[in-house]
């Protein structure tokens, strides 16, 4: 069972479903495909192959992509700052 896809299929008009794509190559292409296939509202993509950001690091850098084609790059910044950026963008 694909939990994220199931949640997106069951969401109400008041809900927003955000996915995460931690990738090592073709980061935005894989993230876009995941956004489309799972019918998400947003996806947060990050390149986990970059040294000093992502897994096991204090900082992160992401690309936030919406189902309507919005694309925003943020970071490198602290993980807290990245989380605040995501929340500010996805909240109506």
Contact between residue 64 and residue 89 where contact means Cβ atoms under 8 Å apart? yes
- Please write the tens of the pLDDT for every residue from 37-77: 999 999 999 999 988 888 888 999 999 999 999 999 999 99
Q: What is the pLDDT of residue 56?
A: 85
Alpha-carbon torsion (66, 63, 14, 4), positive or negative: positive
**Partners of 10 in the β-ladder:** none
Alpha-helix residue ranges (DSSP H) falling in the chain: 3-10, 27-38, 79-90
Q: Tell the residue number behind the tokens 């950001």, with chain if given.
A: 53
- Please write the tens of the pLDDT for every residue from 16-48: 999 999 999 999 999 999 999 999 999 999 999
pTM: 0.92
Element (H, E) at 62: strand 59-66
Q: What is the pLDDT of residue 54?
A: 80
């Amino acid at each position: 069972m694909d939990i994220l896809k199931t949640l997106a299929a069951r969401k109400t008009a008041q809900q927003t479903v955000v996915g995460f794509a931690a990738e090592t190559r073709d980061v935005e292409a894989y993230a876009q495909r995941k956004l489309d296939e799972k019918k998400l509202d947003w996806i947060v993509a990050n390149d986990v192959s970059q040294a000093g950001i992502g897994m096991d690091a204090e900082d992160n850098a992401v690309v936030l992509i919406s189902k309507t084609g919005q694309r925003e790059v943020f970071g490198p910044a602290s993980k807290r700052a990245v989380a605040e950026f995501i929340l500010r963008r996805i909240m109506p």
